[in-house]
Structure 1
Amino acid sequence: MHPLVEQLRGTLLPAVVTPMDSDGVVAYDALTAYAGALTAESIGGLAVWAHTGRGLYLSPADRSKVLETWREATDVPIVAGVGVPRSSSAQSLQEAADATVTMALQAAAGGADAVMVYPLAALGLLPDGHAQAVALHERVAAESGLPLVGFYLHGEAGGYPYPPALIRDLLSLDSMLGVKTATLDRAIGCQDAIWAGRGTGKLLITGEDRMYGPSFMWGADTALVGIAAAQVPLSATVLSAWTSGDHAGFLTASDRLDRFAAATFYAPIEGYVQRMLWAAVWEGLIPEEASYDPYGPPLPAGERDVVIRCLEELNS
């Protein structure tokens, strides 16, 4: 078992945002300050290049600089999301796998401790997609030299449902730390995935921003979530209450987290990145001029008011 399994078990890993200006240029001064503030919180690690950080949209140079900034800010384990960049010209599954490996090699060169493999959604439609998914993870591990986190990602974000058999086969790989579920609102899929991992000794990682508390009751033991990109204590308190057996505290903390999630994770779901950026501004983690998400849908001003009103109520 890789030592990171026990190091990360029971901890929170925020999937961090990437501060950008209104033109979509990464604001590195703001990123440096954000990294310093976030890593002062009680976290076990963090995830860069994930969906929340728009990792697949960043240029290779920006990806390297973003990882470098976080690596310089902290000694906690860094998990880097790797997949097919939006700028890639991959036309086949082989080319998509090549692009994923290239990104993993970049993560290894930049000092990441592990990689989280974005799913190739086309595999879900193929008769041998299961075998190809396992082979992709084996190749990424072999060529990058890094341990892996599997990533069951909902379809709205470009993923597909991993069946329990695939979860079990992925977790059987020596290189695998665990599997993260991010099913959005699919309670059955989340339960089945977590239950498939029971008894493996690997990490059962929740990425369920809208089913955060329930996912621990179903068996998740670690968290890697975009909702922790701001207001870290809201997520951390739920996890710590659960792991300590403080069930009354868990219910209270879950209610608070759920209220924040309801104000940030809803349709259009891709708008959650912008809503989390607004929350980070309110908290003082990033400045207003670095709080733009150029890759999400346009949102009405009233949605920001919902986020701020929720934060004011939770912090009153």
Structure 2
Amino acid sequence: MSVTHLVERVRGTVLPAVVTPMDAHGTVHFGALRRYAERIAAGPVGGVAVWAHTGRGLYLSDADRDRVLRVWREVLDARLPVVAGAGVPRSAGRVGAREAADATAAMAVRAAEGGADAVMVYPPAWLDGDGDAAVALHERVAAESGLPVLGFFLHGEAGGYPYPPELVARLLEVPSVAGVKLATLDRAMACQDAIDAAVDGKLVVTGEDRMFGPSLMWGADSALVGIAAARVPLTAAVLTAWRKGDHGAFVRASGRLDRFAKVTFRAPLEGYVRRMLWAAVWEGLVPEEAAHDPYGPGLPDAERRAVVACLEALAEDDDGPVA
């Protein structure tokens, strides 16, 4: 898929950063994954993002990553694009920049071989803010994988580092870079400055789960978010209303999504994956036995009750999707 084609397919749509169902031992539950994929693909999505932070992509084995991608590729067929994350975990700082760059490029190549349509490059925190090296990494990933690339401005709590506006602009000037995903968490100024640095014709992809509505108002034109891993219509309704110019519906939908975000994207932040799995269980997307996150913190039962109570309240006052 060319950069132009990817931009045309993704702009104005929501791509869930999907979870990876696992059992209590941390083994990927592939039966549950296929059923989950079929349900997500039937919803109001413009594609999906696999191997992302929400799906614990950097922690999976090569074999499991390949199989996860294969399931999504089979379910989505050629109808919807699959974006695959490529990078190394934050511990890669111990192995050196060259090794980390090699591993990132190799993961991107495997994504291409598995049928991905684009690669989202995890922020190379191990480069210590070296903008030239960051640009070179994105160019290398695109060249070796043959796929369009998305930059990824990820907050430090999830292993990223802040891209200054000038680096965002430089990345988007690379012909093989289709856009940049912004996930600054709660840094409104950083998000606004990055959007202002965007280059015409490239995607500005919001990953702002706690600032979703505002990020659209600031200029984001599509979404790739973990909060859409369950209850996809909550997220899609906000983007749809904004693009239709229905400001009343936008305010209502944004308020509903913010209520959900408040109980799922909260401290400890790495607990959000488990909270989204709880939401997926409530929705019937994932069975209880496949709703485990071995890489996040343990959470008290009260947090699950809060997630369920929020979902039940939202269901009671659901005024239907935006037409």
TM-score range, shorter chain: over 0.9
1:135 corresponds to 2:136? yes
Shift of 1:131: 0.4
Paired with 2:197 and 2:283, the residues of 1 have a C-alpha distance of 38
Q: State the Cα deviation string for residues 236-266 of structure 1 (Å, max 9, x = none).
A: 0000000000001000000000000001000
Q: Which runs of 5 or more structure 2 residues have no equivalent in the other structure?
A: 317-323
Aligned residue for 1:239?
A: 239
Paired with 2:184 and 2:152, the residues of 1 have a C-alpha distance of 10
Aligned residue for 2:319?
A: none
Aligned residue for 1:57?
A: 59
Q: Which amino acid aligns with 1:166?
A: L
Aligned residue for 1:170?
A: 171
Runs of 4+ residues deviating >6 angstroms: 86-90
Shift of 1:286: 0.5
Q: Indicate which of 63, 87, 100 corresponds to 1:96.
A: 100
Paired with 1:264 and 1:78, the residues of 2 have a C-alpha distance of 25
Shift of 1:124: 3.5
| 1:274-285 alignment runs, 5 A limit | 274-285=274-285
SS in 1 for 2:57: coil
Shift of 1:3: 1.3
Paired with 1:88 and 1:163, the residues of 2 have a C-alpha distance of 22
Taking only aligned residues, the RMSD between alpha carbons, in angstroms, comes to 1.2
SS in 1 for 2:150: strand
Paired with 2:93 and 2:138, the residues of 1 have a C-alpha distance of 21
Paired with 1:300 and 1:114, the residues of 2 have a C-alpha distance of 37
Shift of 1:120: 1.2
Paired with 2:7 and 2:37, the residues of 1 have a C-alpha distance of 24
Shift of 1:89: 9.4
Q: 2:24·2:290 contact (CA, 8 Å) conserved in 1?
A: yes
Across the two proteins, how many residue pairs are aligned to each other?
312
Shift of 1:6: 1.4
| 1:6-25 alignment runs, 5 A limit | 6-25=8-27
Q: 2:181·2:224 contact (CA, 8 Å) conserved in 1?
A: yes
Aligned residue for 1:292?
A: 292
Identity of aligned residues (%): 66
Aligned residue for 1:120?
A: 124
Paired with 1:15 and 1:283, the residues of 2 have a C-alpha distance of 17
Aligned residue for 2:321?
A: none
Shift of 1:225: 0.2
Aligned residue for 2:267?
A: 267
Which moved further from structure 2: 300-309 or 81-90? 81-90
SS in 2 for 1:315: helix
Aligned residue for 2:320?
A: none
Q: Which amino acid aligns with 1:32?
A: R
TM-score, reference length from structure 1: 0.97
Q: 1:274·1:293 contact (CA, 8 Å) conserved in 2?
A: yes
| 1:74-89 alignment runs, 5 A limit | 74=76, 75=78, 76-84=80-88
SS in 1 for 2:204: strand
Shift of 1:154: 0.2
TM-score, reference length from structure 2: 0.95
Aligned residue for 2:181?
A: 180
Aligned residue for 2:69?
A: 67
Q: State the Cα deviation string for residues 77-113 of structure 1 (Å, max 9, x = none).
A: 0000000157979611010000000100110000000
Q: 1:213·1:254 contact (CA, 8 Å) conserved in 2?
A: yes
SS in 2 for 1:36: helix
Q: Indicate which of 25, 28, 31 corresponds to 1:29.
A: 31
